[in-house]
Amino acid sequence: MTAEVVVLGVVAVLLAWPVPVLLARATWAVRMPALAMVCWQAIAVAGGLSMIGALWYISRGAAALLALHLLLNLGLTAVGTVRQRRRHLQLVELLSTPMPDRPGMRLIENEAPVAYCLPGAPRSVTVLSDGLVRLLSEDELAAVVAHERAHVTQHHHIVLIAFKAWRTALPWFPIASRAEDAVALLVELLADDEARQVVSDDVLASAVTAVAGADAVSVAPRVARLRAV
Amino acid sequence: MDLLWQSTTPLAATDVRDELAGDPAITTVLTVLGRLETKGFLTRDRRRRPHLFRATLSRDDYMAELMHEVLGSSPDREAVLARFIGRASKTEADHLRKLLGA
């Protein structure tokens, strides 16, 4: 029994600190976002389970409490997100018009160049602003649309909710916020990879920089990857 | 909804029907107006007959609320919608401030 506690404890500590720090620094993550994504999910699940498991041998009550806390946060985050999303969708339906030639997409009259998708049942909605349509060429627009569609088909919103819940549940745990940031970038890279199937890397890179505008720093890893040959 | 946004005075359901293309049934118009009222977008004056409807907030107010959710940099938003560019950039933030008139 002591051996089990020690093993689980060591695994929990490794997964709570050195492993995620290494993964966040890994340069291969940008080249292989899908693998990095699997690693983050595995770390989150295994880390949580080993922490609960190690606690179980020390105090069953504490272990149960931690498990309950994590599950409760996941539930609350999911419910809150769905509610907020529903309200947002109502606003979108009032303020935008459906695009006749593009099913599931709506055009909103706004100068700010924005493109985003509202994932959800029964179907997801992708919103483009006319500022964006004016700013981008036909090809660049196709890249944006493919990018947003990838978010929906790959169910990125579910992954993001899980990591957000983890962060809210463990506010004192810096790794949780680092994990959320890493995963947020990875879903963008994965969606970019889908868009690259439709348009050339150059077109996608120019679409990303055009929308990001002056604040190119936030998209630097995405653009650097597309520009590198 | 656009009709009520354009109108300076509150409208009765019959006024709305007369303005709409395709001559929809008055019950249909009332159903839609009732639904918009439940969601809080319309306010109904029940003291008058027929009931008068007006938009709770202007179109610009709703647009500002929507864009604030889209462009706001709070990480909470990230889970609600997946944007083409993840976090709000400086230009967008400036633009947002302009939109919100702050």
How many CB atoms lie under 10 A from the CB of residue A175? 21
Which pLDDT score is estimated for B88?
46
* pLDDT exceeds cutoff 60 at B13: yes
Which pLDDT score is estimated for A70?
94
Higher pLDDT: B90 or A194? It is A194
- Is the Cβ pair B82, A84 closer than 8 Å? no
Q: Please tell me the distance from the alpha carbon of residue A158 to that of residue B79, in angstroms, as a whole number.
A: 8
Do B35 and B10 share a domain, yes or no? yes
Which residues 49-78 of chain A have a CB within 8 Å of chain B?
Answer: 77
Q: Which residue is it, tokens 């007369």?
A: B18
* Chain A CB contacts of B65 below 8 Å: 91
Do B51 and B70 share a domain, yes or no? no
Q: Write down the H helix ranges in A59-173.
A: 60-95, 130-135, 138-153, 156-169
Do B70 and B39 share a domain, yes or no? no
In sequence order, the 6+-apart residues with CB closer than 8 A to the CB of A156 are: A119, A150, A187, A190, A191, B82
Higher pLDDT: B95 or A52? It is A52
* pLDDT exceeds cutoff 50 at B89: no
Which pLDDT score is estimated for B74?
58
Do the Cβ atoms of A219 and A212 come closer than 8 Å? yes
Do B78 and B39 share a domain, yes or no? no
- From A14-23, A41-50, B56-65, B74-83, the region with the lowest mean pLDDT: B74-83
Do B50 and B12 share a domain, yes or no? yes
Nearest Cα neighbor of B29 from A163, B42, A222 is B42
User: Residues for chain B: how many in total?
Assistant: 102
Nearest Cα neighbor of B84 from A21, A80, A136 is A136
pTM value is: 0.85
How many CB atoms lie under 10 A from the CB of residue A202? 12
The residues with which B72 forms a beta bridge, in sequence order, are: none
Which pLDDT score is estimated for A214?
55
Query: DSSP secondary-structure letter at A104?
Result: T
- Max avg pLDDT among A217-221, B35-39, B65-69: B35-39
Total structural domains within chain B: 2
The domain containing residue A113 runs over which residues? 2-227
Which pLDDT score is estimated for A210?
83
Do B47 and B81 share a domain, yes or no? no
Indicate the average pLDDT of chain B: 78
Total structural domains within chain A: 1
Low-confidence residues of chain A: pLDDT under 70 = 1, 121, 213-218, 229
ipTM score of complex: 0.78
Do B51 and B63 share a domain, yes or no? no
A138 interface with B at CB cutoff 8 Å: no
Do B6 and B50 share a domain, yes or no? yes
Do B50 and B73 share a domain, yes or no? no
**Cα four-point dihedral sign B71, B76, B77, B79:** positive
A178 interface with B at CB cutoff 8 Å: no
The helix (run of H) or strand (run of E) holding residue A182 is helix A174-198
The domain containing residue B42 runs over which residues? 2-55
Cα angle A34, A226, A217; round to 5: 95
Q: Please tell me the distance from the alpha carbon of residue A92 to that of residue B63, in angstroms, as a whole number.
A: 9
User: How far does CA B34 lie from the centroid of its chain?
Assistant: 14
Q: Please tell me the distance from the alpha carbon of residue A211 to that of residue B84, in angstroms, as a whole number.
A: 8
Q: What is the CATH number of the domain that holds B13?
A: 1.10.10.10
CA distances from B62 to A29, A132, A165 (A): 40, 20, 29
Tell me the DSSP string of B57-99: S-HHHHHHHHHHHHH---HHHHHH-EESSSSPPHHHHHHHHHH
Do B84 and B50 share a domain, yes or no? no
Do B51 and B27 share a domain, yes or no? yes
Which pLDDT score is estimated for A36?
94
Q: Which residues of B touch A (CB under 8 A)?
A: 1, 39, 41, 59, 62-63, 65-67, 69-71, 75-76, 78-87, 89-92, 95-96, 99
Do B11 and B45 share a domain, yes or no? yes
In sequence order, the 6+-apart residues with CB closer than 8 A to the CB of A213 are: A113, B89, B90, B91, B92
